[in-house]
Homo-oligomer: A and B are copies of this chain.
Amino acid sequence: MNHFFKVKSLEEVMALTTQFSPVASETISVSQAYSRVLAQDLVAPKDLPGFRRATMDGYAVVASSTFGASESSPAWLDVVGTIRMGDIPDVDLEPGKAAKISTGGMLPQGADSVVMVEHTELIDDTSVEIYKSVAPLQHVIDVSEDFAKDQTVLPRGVFMRPQEEGLVAGLGVTQIKTYKIPRVGIISTGDEIIPIDEDPAPGKIRDINSYTLSGFIREAHAVPVRYGIVKDDITALKTAVEKAVQQTDMVLISGGSSVGTRDYTVDVLSSLPDTRILVHGMSISPGKPTILARAGNKPIWGLPGQVVSAMVVLKIVVIPFLNTLKGLGQQDRTIRIPAKLTRNVSSAQGRRDFVRVLLEKKNNQLMAKPVLGKSGLIRTMIHADGLLEIGDHVEGLEKDAMVEIILL
């Protein structure tokens, strides 16, 4: 019986992300690009924009015609026409001339800037007073000022936010190569676990983990695939894990990773072909009895059965590995928000503690209030807005300390 794990530190486990490479790529339509990860360098096929455009409503001018203009001494310009949106201007502009233009309109030949309509007064059909001078290229976007032809505009591995989707569209690229959306298999184990639509007899408990883990996987822009509940039976668990490894890119097994007689997960993982156990125990709390194995290029996690521990391990440890599979690389993408601690918090040395906290704004200062209650209670996660990380070599944190909170 292997009572005491040889535990790994959080840093040692995180360093293992480099052992895994991204999933395959596929070509998708730009309208599906949001939340995907680029699997190619994107090069501008043309200049953006392809012509000199107005960024304000007003008058296209030669800047030098406006030099010295002011409220008390306006410049007078001849209005030679109006630029229609989307058209190539049919006028050429010389000094002393102006053409009416709207935001987004193309500047006529000769014009180098736009005077805002607010700084002008139309005197009659053919003349306008200018009250403020403009510099060359003021209130215009020049040819290729956004991106020049052949420039790499987005590198491989970029997460596609709305603005990246828009940029790709603006360049006229209708199809892009992105990493596939990883599929994550979820298996619940334990003789005590029953489906949520059954009424639990004493000793039984509903399968909460399949639902919380699915939620976190969806939040991370991946697809959860549920394999249901497997009883504490080594053959049944092996069959389920083999199927999940075949059909998905990462597998989560919740329950069965505690020390004790029912530690089937390690046995099953040890018996799989081409599979190595990388982690058996981590020095974090909650989450110590975490297992990580590698089956080919696929991570298989044995997560604690306790719901809160499983959630913390997923958020802190598993999601960074998922990011690697998604093609995002090893960069730490966790958002941390500074806050002031409302009370003393004790911690054990030699392990990383994650304390659930509630965030409250008080006199314009964000306060982190530890959520009381036993660590196994799901309500501590319901009441929490984030997790406070306490370092391995810290015995505790004092009231009013400035801390960083990982949002939940």
Contacts and interface: CB of A to CB of B under 8 A. Distances in A.
Say which size band chain A's interface belongs to: 35 or more
A192 B408 contact: no
B117 A259 contact: yes
B192 A172 contact: no
A374 to B, nearest CB: 6
A4 B203 contact: no
A12 interface: no
Q: How many chain copies?
A: 2
A178 to B, nearest CB: 14
A24 interface: no
B379 A146 contact: yes
Interface string A322-340: 0000000000000101100
A304 B104 CA distance: 11
Given A57-B258, A208-B170, A232-B85, A51 B202 contact: yes
A343 interface: no
A359 to B, nearest CB: 10
Interface of A is mostly: loop
A166 interface: yes
A207 B377 contact: no
Interface of A: 3-4, 30-31, 33-35, 48-51, 53, 55, 57, 82, 84-89, 102-106, 117-118, 141, 145-147, 153-154, 160-172, 174, 190-193, 196-216, 218-219, 226, 232, 255, 258-262, 304-307, 311, 335, 337-338, 374-379, 381-382, 407-408
26 contacts: A48-B378, A49-B205, A50-B202, A53-B376, A86-B204, A87-B203, A103-B305, A117-B260, A145-B377, A146-B377, A146-B379, A154-B382, A161-B408, A162-B216, A163-B311, A163-B381, A165-B212, A166-B211, A166-B311, A169-B206, A169-B210, A170-B205, A170-B378, A172-B199, A337-B337, A338-B338
